[in-house]
């Protein structure tokens, strides 16, 4: 007879994620070598990994694995296991690696816990901001322990919108086309360089909205939960959840016109629009 694993307590998973993210954040902040270089490249020569990405993922998976040996993992730097508890940890040990490499402060550790495929707890730790963004599903969003709320929707033309670009030249060219059309229609565009922080910024009211094509589960799992719990809507193409195809986060009232415009502009594919 097979037994169904007991459903986990999201608050307990959150506590574990907070602790692991904090430790990884300290390692990354205090352990960054002055001569930090590129250890490897991934999808293209500008998609870089440093020794610190790898060290941070090891710290996180060792720590969580000791506390919850039956859980699975999906980590950007290679952690991949099924587990038997129904819980899977989705980890970006260093989101914003290019910023980190250059000494820019916008980078974060992102850890989410999924149960049966749904994200139920998430932490984005941004050491250089001295901020921790946390959420459990249905429990609200908090920054350094204080409730977080997204901004009410502005008029579309007054919206400050964050976005990002992938590492492949063909995708970037298509993404630049979308931004070219969008930028005269909104207040302004921001490209901060860390998707987890962009999503957290929607939840904190520091951006009105955010969209990006090409994210991986580890880029968006924790930050999208935080944004939703702070009152934002998240999604992809109309009727679809946020995914690698397209991720959008914005408050109700802005989400819908932004989604419609991104659909019209073809922000979900890499082919240039006919001019």
Residues that bind ligand IPD in the complex, under the rule CB under 6 A: 92, 95-97, 164-166, 193-195, 212, 214-215, 219
**With respect to Ca ion, which residue has the nearer C-beta, 90 or 94?**
94
Q: Which does 55 bind (CB under 5 to 8 A by kind): Ca ion, ligand IPD, none?
A: none
Who contacts 2 (Cβ-Cβ below 8 Å, separation ≥6)?
A: none
Q: Contact residues for Ca ion (CB under 5 A)?
A: 76, 92, 94-95, 219
Residue (96 or 231) nearer to Ca ion, CB: 96
Positive or negative CA dihedral for 186, 250, 210, 268?
A: negative
* Distance of closest approach, residue 49 Cβ to ligand IPD, in angstroms: 8
CA 231 to CA 209: how far, in whole Å?
12
Rounded to whole angstroms, the Cα distance separating 94 from 91 reads 9
Taking the complex as a whole, how short is the minimal distance between the CB of residue 215 and ligand IPD, in angstroms?
Answer: 6
Instruction: Compute the distance between CA of residue 173 and CA of residue 170 in angstroms, rounded to an integer.
Output: 5
* Cα 25 to chain centroid, rounded: 16
CB of 94 to ligand IPD, least distance (A): 6
Q: Least distance to Ca ion from the beta carbon of 95, Å?
A: 4
**Cβ distance to Ca ion smaller for residue 92 or 229:** 92
Cβ at position 149, least distance to ligand IPD in Å? 23
72 binds, among ligand IPD, Ca ion, none (CB under 5 to 8 A by kind): none
251 binds, among ligand IPD, Ca ion, none (CB under 5 to 8 A by kind): none
Q: Choose between 95 and 201: whose C-beta lies nearer to Ca ion.
A: 95
The residue (of 95 and 229) whose beta carbon lies closer to ligand IPD is: 95
- List b or e across 129-162, with b for residues whose CB sees 16 or more CB atoms inside 10 angstroms: beebbbbbeeeebbbeeeebbbbebbebeebbbb
Residue 260 parent element (H or E): helix 255-265
């Amino acid at each position: 007879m097979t037994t169904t694993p007991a459903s986990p307590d999201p608050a307990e998973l959150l506590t574990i994620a907070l602790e692991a993210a904090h430790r990884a954040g300290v390692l990354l902040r205090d352990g960054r070598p002055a001569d930090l270089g590129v250890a490897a490249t991934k999808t293209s020569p500008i998609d870089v990994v440093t020794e610190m990405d790898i060290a941070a993922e090891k710290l996180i998976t060792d720590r969580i694995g000791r506390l919850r040996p039956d859980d699975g993992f999906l980590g950007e730097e290679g952690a991949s296991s099924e587990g038997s508890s129904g819980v899977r940890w989705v980890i970006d040990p260093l989101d914003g690696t290019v910023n980190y490499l250059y000494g820019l402060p916008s980078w974060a550790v992102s850890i989410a816990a999924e149960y049966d495929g749904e994200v139920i707890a998430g932490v984005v730790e941004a050491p250089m901001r001295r901020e921790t963004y946390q959420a459990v599903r249905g429990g609200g969003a908090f920054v350094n322990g204080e409730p977080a709320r997204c901004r009410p929707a502005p008029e579309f033309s007054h919206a400050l919108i964050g976005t990002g670009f992938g590492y492949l030249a063909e995708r970037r060219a298509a993404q630049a086309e979308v931004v070219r059309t969008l930028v005269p229609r909104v207040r302004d565009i921001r490209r901060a360089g860390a998707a987890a922080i962009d999503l957290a910024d929607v939840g904190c009211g520091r951006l009105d909205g955010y969209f990006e094509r090409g994210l991986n589960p580890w880029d968006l799992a924790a930050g999208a939960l935080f944004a939703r719990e702070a009152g934002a809507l998240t999604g992809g193409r109309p009727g679809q959840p946020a995914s690698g195809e397209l991720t959008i986060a914005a408050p109700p009232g802005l989400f819908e016109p932004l989604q419609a415009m991104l659909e019209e502009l073809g922000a979900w594919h890499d082919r240039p629009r006919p001019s």
